[in-house]
Structure 1
Amino acid sequence: MKESIFVTGIGTGVGKTICAAVLTQYWKADYWKPVQSGDLSASDSMTVSHLLNGDVLIHPERYRLTFPASPHKSALRDGVSIQLTDFKLPITANHLVVEGAGGLLVPLNDEDSILDLIMSLDIPVALVVRDYLGCINHSLLSIEVLRNRHIPLKYLIFNGAIDIDSERVIRRSLTKDTKVLHMPELEVVTAIHIKNIADQIIF
């Protein structure tokens, strides 16, 4: 059965793109980044393509914004109005990995957030967690808002080393339907590393 998943995180800089690349490699999936905000010369789509040696179908971003900030701010600076109705899942017979921008409540405009985009696309979530002071609170808040919006949390990914007590508390908030995956800590990330991690995944 072909799978579509929306990769989001408990915050910015938790490793969504690396985790998205691993999942894309694992499923031999297509990849789509709906909104790229800044870093257009080194975008997340380009990173995923590089980490998969170009052996991936990258669907073009719906919005390519020039300023490295929240999409609502970057769009305003670019004179662009982001609307939820502008987003449609790419047509594909393959698995599809979709990567968000920042965390769940990052605004796309003055009314809508990444969370609203996920609801509009109607696909389940893979939530990326990284260990830092405050990660428990950010994780539990993210899990709670997904539950309140009735969005399936299909995967929770611990990216890098995680404190055992933090993991225990976070796991307690999950339902039995959520699968947990551990990604190893990577100081250097190459295509070989991505493939090796993907080859070891067992769901």
Structure 2
Amino acid sequence: MPRFVVTGTDTGIGKTVFTAALAGALGIPYWKPIQSGLEEETDSEVVARLAGVPVLPEAYRLVTPASPHLAAEIDGVAIDPDALTPPAGDLIVEGAGGVLVPVTRTLLYADLFARWRIPVIVCARTGLGTINHSLLTIEALRARGVPIHGIAFVGDAVEDSEAIVAKIGGVRRLGRLPPIHPLTPETLAAAFAANFDLAGFT
């Protein structure tokens, strides 16, 4: 039963596009527990457009584009961690930003992942700084006993960075999603199939 959490080393690195590719390739539902910021296309809408898989409704839809803890406070919403328990069955869950992003004033995404015990895929960019960001992310997850399924890179190939993160971090290197222009369901599916072995996710 494929069940994964996809997290990132930072915000804006292509995590949602990778998540859409993975959900589409596996043909399983997608869930974003908390969406912060509703003015632009939401992550759930991106996945629905690119992957064509069932998209479960978010537990919280926050108007303010900020970290969930702050967005909730500004919007006058109290986030209940018990409402963030992933549904049963095949599922891809997407976090927000990085693993130490606060969900509330006392709870981080990494703490949620530790509760869930679902294998985590770390999504990392390939640009300058990714070694530090990726290894810090891996350490934060390991410190909480979170199972790490592997790391997926997004961007142009940077072989040394990708290899050293996997080696020093002691994680499986799942592949790299290159820049895709134009980005359509067809081009995304083709790029994922060309750069990832689906057997590594089942």
TM-score, reference length from structure 1: 0.91
Structure 2 CA distance, aligned partners of 1:99 and 1:79? 24
Q: 1:154-195 CA deviation, whole Å, 9 max, x = no partner?
A: 02101112422222321212336x342111222331111122
The match for 1:29 is 28
Residue correspondences, number = 197
CA RMSD of aligned residues (A): 1.6
Residue 80 of structure 2 is matched in structure 1 by: 83
TM-score (norm 2): 0.91
Matches within 5 A, 1:1-203: 2-39=1-38, 42-52=41-51, 55-92=52-89, 95-175=90-170, 178-200=172-194, 201-202=196-197, 203=200
- Give SS of 1:118's match: helix
Moved segments of 4+, more than 6 Å: none
Amino acid at match of 2:96: A
Unaligned runs of 5+ in 2: none
Instruction: Name which of structure 1's ranges 6-15 and 188-197 shifts more when overlaid on structure 2.
Output: 188-197
Cα deviations by residue, 1:33-69 (Å, 9 ceiling, x for unpaired): 00000035511111111112xx311110000000111
Q: Which whole-Å CA distance do the structure 2 matches of 1:188 and 1:13 have between them?
A: 18
Q: Is the 8 A contact 1:38 1:68 kept in 2?
A: yes
Change (3 A) 1:60 1:149: same
Shift of 1:127: 0.5
Do the aligned partners of residues 87 and 10 (structure 1) sit closer, same or farther apart at CA in structure 2, a change above 3 Å counting? Answer: same
Unaligned 5+ runs, structure 1:
none
